[in-house]
Structure 1
């Protein structure tokens, strides 16, 4: 091969790179469209309904995601990554550990309140993404807990145990809350304060918040 010979391999690599970038952009666009469709119309859309609401065809969706499970997994990963990133940032903020814990609870509860349909769509697929998400959240929650425990927990095991318990508690309570009919549901602020109170003060938080409005 001489210097005048076309670099066919280079051209092929360039086209492949451009195609990969285009495919990633298109997948991201379709994920966003699917998320908006679920937010408006609910988590139980058929693929025909989903594609129509996304403004595309089912064949296009299948081309990028293979099937509904693939689309659901992609949307779920994007949503869970957003929540995990927000929680991680909150855990690293300046200020008392208790304030950071409350901020993390608020992020989680507010996410459910803003779009229950999207949350239900995401958690309907219980797989590696959800397991990884819960582990990531527990790691973020453990950050302020390690500060609280200090020398009493030199290897961080108690903080990890406490964090996993808190994550399960907040997740379970929040999902029950969002499934409650709106007319009988606590407000987002009330729910955040109640969960934060339960985690810090136990059962006495209910009567304290109900009677005085105290949040600390």
Structure 2
């Protein structure tokens, strides 16, 4: 009986592994077609890109929201890895902040359609929460500050993506870093009302 049970368990594990691999494959195909054709692609478009039928896509994801969440998992993993690398290779906390902001801007600019796809229709919580957790850990455990910083960067970045002509991403990353480091009100106040130079 034990031998039969082990055989059944082995088959179940192999099927689970196969199913997960196939799901990842379909999510990556969806990400690719969204990147090339925009966030409004249909389930038919996704199925065609994956070389399968729409019914198979529905079998793995139930609906388009399921596809969004699966693609978001892929995107979040890539963003997290890039942000961790940026922070770990920076020289000091301010440089780490600047590196992470610059990396985030570069990644969303490299594929704005995919970014829009995974954050539209209230599907952004997974992305935001994951990045907030990362910033919380990097910032000494202050989740409130991390949530505020992520929200600030996200809001600024999304407006930037919609703006034409678009500001240089390096300049924007420098500005966001100054805002976060010194506080946007203080920074804007200094820029609008520069202090007079004291004669020596």
TM range (shorter): 0.7 to 0.9
Contact 2:76 2:130 in 1 (8 A): no
Q: 1:167 aligns with which of 134, 143, 150?
A: 150
Partner of 1:186: 167
Aligned residues: 188
RMSD: 2.5
Q: Which runs of 5+ in 1 are unaligned?
A: 147-155, 208-216
Q: Which runs of 5+ in 2 are unaligned?
A: 193-200
Partner of 1:13: 9
Partner of 1:138: 132
TM-score calculated relative to the size of structure 2: 0.82
Change (3 A) 1:44 1:64: same
- List 4+ stretches of structure 1 deviating above 6 A: 204-207
TM-score calculated relative to the size of structure 1: 0.76
Contact 1:84 1:133 in 2 (8 A): no
Asked if 1:203 corresponds to 2:188, the answer is yes
Change (3 A) 1:205 1:44: farther
In 2, distance between residues paired with 1:72 and 1:134?
14
1:196 deviates by 1.6
